[in-house]
A and B are shown apart, each in its own frame.
Chain A
Amino acid sequence: MTTITPVQAVPTSVPQHVRDLVARVTGDEKHDPSAHSTLDVVWTLYDQVLRVDAARPDAPDRDRFLLSKGHGPASTYAVLAAKGFFPASWLDDVGSFDSPLGHHPDRTLVPGIEIGSGSLGHGLPLAVGLALGLRGRSTARVVVLVGDAELDEGSNAEAIQVAGRYGLGNLTCVVVDNHSDNLGWPGGIAPRFALEGWTAAEVRTHDQPRLTAALRHTEPDRPTVVVVDTTSKDAA
């Protein structure tokens, strides 16, 4: 059964100048929701949660944001540009031969991009290794963003299990759930993490106070998952 969410006026914390930067990437003034379902999360992370400094993008103790859903980099590029990681002019020719910004991001080309991604199911296992490597050596957090359809990839199941067994309190997985998974997740996404020992929260993308609180929340002995529902048709 499909539920059609009625279109409604959407409050969003994302400033207009950031939304304009997204539009420069996509060349789409209408803010196509599928390309922008991650914008609230990414903006909130960089504006309210992560300890990162555009002037020191390689600082050893920086928090790490890993965009695993690499096929939707527009909002991440826009937020990084808004925060000064690279010039906004880079946003105007994404995907060209001379541009460091592609349709899937490359960490070696872009300040602030922590992993090259695009093939689904690689970010969460990398995040688990990163969290293992930083744990006890740094106060840095590792936040990885995946999509609900991306969770189909079995590599995620392996990583969810390993992160739970190792109690990675410095790891947060944000699942941007735009209900794009073809076969669905009977019983929901969050319980699949919770069963493996993660602490789980479910929020709607425009519930700004709860979204911010959920993204800030960590527990010392277990990883955190935040499932963000973006099904509102004008979620961007």
Chain B
Amino acid sequence: MTALAPAPQALDLRTRFYAELDPLLDAHPDVDVVLAVIGSGYMGRAIARHPGRVIDVGIREQALIGVAGGLALAGRRPIVHTFASFLVERPYEQVKLDLGHQDVGAVLVSAGASYDVSAGGRTHQSPADVALISALPGWTVHVPGHADEVAELLQREAAGTGRTYIRLSGQRNARPGPVDGRLHLVRDGGETPPSSGSAPLVVAVGPMLDTVLDAVADLPVRVAWTATPHPLDADGLRVLAGPAPVLAVVEPYLEGTSAAAVAAALVDRPSRVLHVGVPGESELRRYGTPREHAAAHGLDAAGVRRRVAAFLV
């Protein structure tokens, strides 16, 4: 007779986020959750057990960030959540001023990454969110690829004081990785003779890892991974990329978002760098599934393989 197994933890990143909030509010008395309706239907237990600590401002996203800034000024640690479009883009000046300029911290947690809401159309898609947040001083951006990473990041950031953006996506990897802000080598280019130098490096960000591993399965490249694209682990990148990097960076959001950080990290050496992400030149005016959007953007395994293989020629 074996003991009952614990209830399985949610694998979906957004579901896991909601499930973590109740114990998080228990463990961190200074944390408040601020919502603009979205999410409130999924955290009934947290709302019931922590009166006054889940603040729903209604469909008012300027107030969402402004209220979070005020809470932080009062010494609270706000966790702020809605879809990325309405968390980052609509109240962007509030993010800049009510958090950054006031020099206070908050944890912004978005759902609806890039084309997760593919059938919802452009109004519910914001592939530029990481670029926008990264353009403001003092932010850390986490792009977890597994629900366990979400839980670990939430616990750590709830105890912190900084400005943090955690981007939840529908896409995920089979296994969690270490969310320590570093770049980790996941696959080395074993067949490359040492005399020929380091094999080209492919950096996969967050939930792109499994897709990238699938894409480059038969290509002579190494693969590294991080859940924290901003600030980029520049030291780790320099070590892994070597003296004359041939590097591809695969991100699940606006193509080239990390280009400036990569260029700065490699400024002291000759390098060739390919950036793969969501193209920014035009809107994809299609609905359909996230899988179809990934294929249309060249972000499925076949598309990533095409881009990387062409780059290696």
Say whether B66 contacts A133, CB under 8 Å.
no
Distance in angstroms between the alpha carbons of A124 and B60 in the assembled complex: 14
Distance in angstroms between the alpha carbons of A155 and B52 in the assembled complex: 22
Interface secondary structure of B, over-half rule: helix
Say whether B94 contacts A133, CB under 8 Å.
no
Instruction: List B contacts of A128 (CB < 8 A).
Output: 63, 66-67, 70
Say whether A133 contacts B75, CB under 8 Å.
yes
Say whether A125 contacts B67, CB under 8 Å.
yes
Say whether A133 contacts B102, CB under 8 Å.
no
Say whether B94 contacts A114, CB under 8 Å.
no
Contact of A126 among B58, B70, B78, B103 (CB under 8 A): B70
Q: Mask for A137-163, Cβ within 8 A of B = 1, else 0?
A: 110000000000000001100110110
Say whether A129 contacts B102, CB under 8 Å.
no
Instruction: List A contacts of B78 (CB < 8 A).
Output: 129
Closest-by-CB residue of B relative to A144 is B70
Which one of A42-50, A115-123, A210-218, A219-227 contacts B?
A115-123
Say whether A122 contacts B63, CB under 8 Å.
no
Does residue A127 face the partner (Cβ distance < 8 Å to B)?
yes
**What is the total of A-B residue contacts with beta carbons within 8 Å?**
97
Q: Considering only CB atoms and an 8 Å cut-off, how many residues of chain B contact the other chain?
A: 28
Instruction: List A contacts of B101 (CB < 8 A).
Output: 106, 116
> Provided the pairs A128-B66, A134-B74 are in contact, do residues A116 and B97 lie with their beta carbons within 8 angstroms?
yes
Interface secondary structure of A, over-half rule: helix
Say whether B76 contacts A155, CB under 8 Å.
no
Instruction: List B contacts of A60 (CB < 8 A).
Output: 75
Instruction: List A contacts of B57 (CB < 8 A).
Output: 158, 162
Contact of B98 among A122, A132, A154, A161 (CB under 8 A): A122
Distance in angstroms between the alpha carbons of A106 and B70 in the assembled complex: 15
Distance in angstroms between the alpha carbons of A5 and B66 in the assembled complex: 37
Say whether A162 contacts B73, CB under 8 Å.
no
Instruction: List A contacts of B94 (CB < 8 A).
Output: 122, 125, 155
Chain B residues within 8 Å of A, Cβ to Cβ: 32, 52, 55, 57-58, 60, 62-63, 65-76, 78, 93-94, 97-98, 101-103
- A sample of 14 cross-chain residue pairs with beta-carbon separation below 8 angstroms, ordered by A number, consists of A106-B101, A114-B73, A119-B97, A121-B62, A129-B68, A129-B69, A129-B70, A129-B74, A130-B73, A132-B74, A133-B75, A137-B74, A138-B74, A154-B62
Question: Lowest 4 A-B CB distances belong to which pairs?
Answer: A129-B70, A125-B66, A133-B74, A129-B67
